[in-house]
Chains A and B, each alone.
Chain A
Amino acid sequence: MSVFILRRLMQSLVLLCVMTIIVFAGVYAIGNPIDILISPDATQAEYDRAVRALGLDLPLWQQYLVFLSKLVQGDLGKSFVFNEPALTLVFSRLPATLELAFAAMLLSIVIGIPLGLWAGLRPDSVAGRSIMAGSIFGFSLPNFWQGLMLIMVFSVFLQWLPAGGRGPTANFLGINSSLFTAEGWQHLLLPALNLALFKMSLVIRLTRAGVRETLLLDYVKFARAKGLSSRRVIFVHVFKNILIPLVTVIGLELGSVIAFAVVTETIFAWPGIGKLIIDSIFVLDRPVIVAYLIVIVLMFITINLIVDILYSVLDPRVRLADMKS
């Protein structure tokens, strides 16, 4: 098991290096930051000084190494706009996004799995069909439109929930989050639901397909032939097997939920990282963009690692195959 984790860690490290090259190439090598930093009417001497000061006269590979060594020290430069270290800026916005993403994933799991189970066990019932029809909506409605509709219905007409912004936060176990205040939850609910609907549909479809497939397998019939209650057959024999694809997909989707919360954060004026990156792209605030990309990639890698580990815990066949290799 530890060998397995160690190997995955090594792979992650390689992945991270490759990623920094891409980020570096993408953001630093294409286009010249000097043009934005220095006023257009500066003299050639001033221009050269600035180029040298930023190390832009060095060969590309040396520039990369400089970038890398600064990165290792956690120095990604200061934001042109906020004049704060870019990394600090990203980290200050991250909790709001993480909170939103986790709430969305939680919603899609606690609603999606039971609905998917139901639809899988009773595919021909009215409820089963309705769930499937609903999941098609969840897939196909444009996210921004759906967000606006949620605001219209729940904030404007019913006036149950606030239309935007993040509620007050409270500190619990050193974590500052609006999850710990009632008002915070009220603010969170609509954006989380908006972000969750697509994933929820995905979870419903995956669960249903898994149940339908697994129910036909011999070992499920054998479990029934052993005289087990249908409860045990479904929640142990069937469920443990569909958990494998579910965990994989949910884990991977968690990354994308964080990265693509942009639309929801914009609609609901959620002060998260997605809103920050959109603003930064508009004003070409490169250090922030780089910091954002690095943090997102790190997060993807971490999530993938956790998924891999969970996967091997759930599926004994993976565990063995890994020990052999």
Chain B
Amino acid sequence: MTEAVLKVENLQTHFFTKAGVVKSVDDVSFEVGRGKIMGLVGESGSGKSVSGFSIMGLVDHPGRVVGGRILFHGRDLVGLPDEEMRKIRGRRIAMIFQDPMMTLNPVLRIDTQMIETIQAHEKVDRETARQRSRDALGQVGIPSPDERLMAYPHQFSGGMRQRVVIALALAVNPKLVIADEPTTALDVTIQAQILYQMQKLVAEQHMGLIWVTHDLSVVAGLADELCVMYAGRIVERGPVGRLIDAPIHPYTKGLIGSVPSRNPRGQPLTQIPGMAPTPIDLPAGCPFRPRCARASDICRTTPETAEHLPGRFARCFHPHLEDAA
């Protein structure tokens, strides 16, 4: 990867709750290149959204980034003053949220919500901002954008709303987009349309895209690289094709085995035994140990990220290297 838009190094984001410290993101590192799509996959609660919010500088109280660096074009975003961060948010790094029904303000018209975004970052007059908003709506495939600008969010379907949000995010030409499960709430055909559109926009505008999802089949055809998260850590990272064909971390292997379309007909789906751990009382050592068939005594210590094969990183003492090599 030549030109990294974003480089996250050993990021740690913890929530200091009354019940204890929740290590939602714990020592996470990855890179996103220009015009590249990075898939961030993991079960619910594994820390995907918190990773995204950490990059945006929008971690909710009582959470805080406690360690690591977030290098955006080489500049560390951790600890940046509020006003500096505000200028980056929305302008350089945009984020698309999971639920399109909840992301737009119900009492403001679409044009208000788009124009304010453009005007927050650029000194342009209302009319120019409005025209750019209209163009952005057209770009994501919204019919009669002039009329739609005057509408309120509740007058759009879920899929249309998510397009509006995408248009909004892209109207200021960000260099990096974090899409936090943007299609989870939508049905399959609309999901496919939006995926296609995003892919096109990434290629056209040379931006980096982090696509967060818990659905492996969605990112399989979309991403260049995959990061698999488990209990606040990235357990495996690698190029998407090779990672899915031959996962080396036992958790990834379990995850792929449980996707119906990846299994030969007639074979039973495998299931990862046990429950996803709650981040508040993680087992010492490898967090996957209680559910792992390969676990041994050494797994009571924490495995570090290692490059087991060229370009293939994993946190595991006993990776599945047999069919990956």
Chain A partners chain B: yes
Given the interface pairs A221-B58, A222-B97, A232-B116, the reply to whether A227 lies near B106 with Cβ below 8 Å is no
B75 at the interface (CB under 8 A from A): no
* Smallest CB separation, B153 vs chain A (Å): 8
Complex: how many Å from CA A221 to CA B97? 9
B94 partner residues in chain A, CB cutoff 8 A: 225-226
Number of A-B contacts (CB under 8 A): 77
Expressed in whole angstroms, the Cα–Cα distance for A316 and B150 within the complex equals 12
B90 x A225 contact (CB < 8 A) = yes
Determine if A218 is an interface residue (Cβ-Cβ < 8 Å).
yes
- B152:A317 contact, CB within 8 angstroms: yes
Contact B107 A240 (CB under 8 A): yes
Tell me the smallest distance from the CB of B155 to a CB of chain A, in Å: 7
Give A244-277 interface residues, CB cut-off 8 Å to B.
Answer: 244
Q: Verify B107–A241 contact, CB threshold 8 A.
A: yes
- Interface stretch (choices B81-89, B187-195, B258-266, B303-311): B81-89
B103: Cβ under 8 A from any A Cβ: yes
Instruction: Establish whether residues B88 and A227, one from each chain, have CB atoms under 8 Å apart when the complex forms.
Output: yes
Tell me if A37 is interfacial: C-beta within 8 Å of chain B: no
Bound Cα distance from A226 to B109, whole angstroms: 16
For A219, the chain B residues whose CB sits under 8 A away are 102-106
| Complex-state Cα separation, A228 to B113, whole angstroms | 10
Interface of A is mostly: helix
Proximity string of chain A (184-227) to chain B, C-beta cutoff 8 Å, 1 when within and 0 when not = 00000000000000000000000000000000011101111111
- Interface pair B108/A229, CB less than 8 Å apart: no
A217, B106: Cα distance in complex, Å:
11
Select one of B88, B102, B117, B152 contacting A218, CB under 8 A: B102
A316 to B94, CA, bound (A): 27
Q: Which of A226, A241, A314, A315 contacts B117 (CB 8 A)?
A: A226
Closest to A240 in B: B107
> What are 27 of the A-B contact pairs (CB < 8 Å)?
A219-B103, A219-B105, A219-B106, A222-B95, A222-B165, A224-B89, A225-B89, A225-B94, A227-B88, A227-B89, A227-B90, A227-B121, A228-B120, A232-B116, A232-B120, A236-B108, A236-B116, A237-B108, A240-B107, A240-B108, A241-B106, A315-B106, A315-B107, A316-B106, A317-B106, A317-B154, A320-B152
Residues of chain B touching chain A, judged by Cβ–Cβ distance below 8 Å, are: 56, 58, 86-91, 94-95, 97, 99, 102-109, 116-117, 120-121, 152, 154-155, 165, 168
Q: Which 4 A-B pairs have the closest CB atoms?
A: A227-B90, A218-B102, A226-B90, A227-B89
